[in-house]
Amino acid sequence: MIPKAITENFDPDVTEVDPPQFDGLEDRPTESFNVTFSQPVTEPLFLDDTQRPVILKAAYSLFLRHSFHSITWEDVARESEQPVQVVRYWFDTKLEILKDAILIEHQDYLAKIKLWTKGDLSPREKLRRYLRTLLLRAHQMPLLTLILREDPEVYYALTREYDDLKLQLQPISAEMLAELMDEAAAPHEWPSEDLVMRGQLLLEFSHIISVYLRDPSPSGIARKSFTKILADLIIDGIDGCPELGSPP
């Protein structure tokens, strides 16, 4: 179920990004018992299913403010107001916390895509909207973007540790984009393999633009205008992009 805070008044042009929702996560079975750690535990730890989302939310905030390498278990415990032993019960490594925080952020982003592309839209308009959400992905996923920009070695460590993470973080498949292009560009004579290749190219292109796009751009264009003009240019071509003016 999509949280209400996500589904109300979503517009990919927003300049502020609401933090992702950390409720309703799948947790390990919980009970009160002794857990062995390097630090001695003098009494049984109380564990319940509210702790993991609280820890994730706190860690998410820390990762946005500080480098991954500088954050300690004690920092996470202090930020979440949980004992270190409780944090270490729910998460085996810092990479696991980071991975789960990014996945929650991604789920929030997917909910926004679903909201903004619903309704009775023409194939061309739906493709345009998907493209704009892809171009704005970095803005909607600030934690992943920060890791990609500032700590790429951490991202590589994540993808080595969790083989399916890249696939999980893919917002839309090249095949789905190919289907949208097939309908939006009809009639055409592109073979199916060419459509999929074009879909993959759009995914890679939008990812690069999204990660490295600043607001404003180096030429002074605001993110809202930049992504709108670029999406219109790709979907409609130069002749159909009035913001660029009429060709001579």
Answer yes or no: are the C-beta atoms of 223 and 216 closer than 8 Å. yes
State pTM to two decimals: 0.75
Q: What is the band of 243 on the pLDDT scale with cuts at 50, 70, 90?
A: low
Residue 240 has pLDDT above 50, yes or no: yes
Burial 141-173 (b: 16+ CB within 10 A, else e): bbbbbbbbeebeebbeebeeeeeebeeebebbe
Residue showing tokens 């199916």:
192
Tokens in use for 196? 């999929």
Rounded Cα distance between 187 and 6, Å, is 37
Residue 22 has pLDDT above 70, yes or no: no
pLDDT score, position 91 = 94
Q: What is the band of 4 on the pLDDT scale with cuts at 50, 70, 90?
A: very low
- DSSP secondary structure letters along 86-133: HHHHH-SSHHHHHHHHHHHHHHHHHHHHHHHT-SS--HHHHHHHHHHH
Answer yes or no: are the C-beta atoms of 80 and 87 closer than 8 Å. yes
**Per-residue pLDDT tens for 190-221?**
898 999 999 999 999 998 888 888 888 888 88
> Which amino acid, one-letter code, is at 185?
A
Lowest mean pLDDT among 166-180, 202-216, 231-245: 231-245
Rounded Cα distance between 172 and 178, Å, is 11
**Per-residue pLDDT tens for 114-169?**
888 888 899 899 999 999 999 998 889 999 999 998 899 999 999 999 998 988 88
* pLDDT, mean over the chain: 81
Share of the chain above pLDDT 70, in %: 78
